[in-house]
A and B are shown apart, each in its own frame.
Chain A
Amino acid sequence: MISMEEVSTLFTDGMTIMAGGFMGVGTPQELVSAMLEANVRDITLIANDTAFTETGVGPLIVNRRVKKVIASHIGTNPETGRQMIAGELEVELVPQGTLAERVRAGGSGLGGVLTPTGVGTVVEEGKEKITVDGREFLLEKPLRAEVALLKAYKADKAGNLIYHRSARNFNPLMALAADTVIVQVEQIVEIGDIDPDEVMTPGILVDKIFVQGGCQS
């Protein structure tokens, strides 16, 4: 387990960071705040969307900590579009299912995935097209990050995770695809208190647990 002060020391300028969440739901808001306080800059951010100006990963965009964002949707955070048009922020838009598969590939040792999504659209630009049994697919390459910031509902002290409702989204995928995995949890319980059948992400993938609301031993 880790305190807010320790979280802040894990970031460096220019890092690639993945964050779970869908429009802020399932985003570890306190870890995002820790990043803001750490004053880290020029990050490459991988997330489903850039949420809103005040919530989710949105404040990282608003406070100009991001150099490049890889996401499926930026429409709910007007600041992302403004910085993109002004040439201040690089934005790579990726279809949501392709984003999920690229993170999976990064986390599961694959060299990429072949998907039909985006064939015949601007998404295919610059990508290798591969025909399998007469159907065209795009080769989409893996995504990995140095740090993944995840949100779970409950963890045991071995790091086994349970997510809640639609807050699961990209979190389990990202747990596999980063060098250091930090999870913000609402509850921490003893080892054995979570039935192994109920575990959604096994603890071997989790490096640091931050208990929401502050520091606990």
Chain B
Amino acid sequence: MISTLINPKQIIAARVAKELSDGDVVNLGIGLPTMVPNFLPEDVNVILQSENGYIGLGPLEGDIDPDLVNAGGQPSSILPGGAFFDSLFSFELIRGGHVDVTVLGGLEVDAKGNLANWMVPGKMVPGMGGAMDLVTGAKKVIVAMEHMAKNGSSKILQQCRLPLTGKGVVDMIVTELAVFRVTEAGFVLEELQEGVSLETVREKTEAAFIVNPALA
């Protein structure tokens, strides 16, 4: 485990890593989520699923095989014990509840557990790829994102404004400031990241939230 975390993304990835258990089947979104395995303790081995058709996704080592890429289209590897399959089976695993945890980035999350992360009307319409299936089917959905957008606005909202990726799908949000759980009663602030005050989180979070009594 790395002891000094120098930037917000590392803080987020290191905290998400604590949510993963040995043997979990995990799907990681592109970007920040792919940093999570760097922070796993040595005795925790997870099995990474790549939605383009395999389990046992590993880091790129040695020669590049043009037929072996991850879900971001980047050259990748498969670990011993892994398996390839077609896109149909890949999404049977995902939708069928055989993926324990998915970690995705987010543009907005709201108090009902709604997630928006696939398009900004008029600006960015890349397509949802596998994200809608992942948030629908994975047993646990963790949104790993910076607390605020680049313009300083909160990404944790009472109600999402952008088109949704999934309705009522998010279980947990990890930011560089805090950890929230989504419950029937709305957001519950479970943890403050090291050195962060409750006042800071209140100031930078648009949505209402309940504070876990253990934090008070």
Contact = CB atoms under 8 A, between A and B. Distances in A.
**Is chain B's binding surface mostly helix, strand, loop or mixed?**
loop
Nearest to B122: A85
A83 B51 CA distance: 27
Contact of B87 (A74, A96, A118, A165): A96
A91 to B, nearest CB: 8
A166 B133 contact: no
Contacts, number: 138
A178 B163 CA distance: 33
A96 B126 contact: no
Interface stretch (B10-18, B65-73, B175-183, B189-197): B65-73
Interface stretch (A3-11, A22-30, A59-67, A209-217): A22-30
A121 B163 contact: yes
Given A26-B67, A72-B130, A75-B127, A166 B52 contact: yes
Interface residues of B, number: 41
Given A73-B128, A74-B125, A97-B91, A121 B84 contact: no
B26 interface: no
Given A96-B133, A101-B91, A166 B53 contact: yes
Interface residues of A, number: 46
Interface string B113-129: 01000000000111111
Contacts of A93: 125, 127-128
Contacts of A116: 95, 136-137
B144 to A, nearest CB: 20
B73 A98 contact: no
Given A116-B95, A170-B86, A72 B67 contact: no
Interface of A: 22-26, 48-49, 71-76, 81, 84, 93, 95-101, 103-104, 115-123, 153, 163-173
Given A25-B67, A118-B136, 16 more contacts: A23-B52, A73-B126, A74-B127, A96-B87, A97-B91, A97-B95, A100-B91, A103-B88, A117-B132, A120-B167, A123-B132, A163-B84, A165-B84, A169-B52, A170-B86, A170-B87
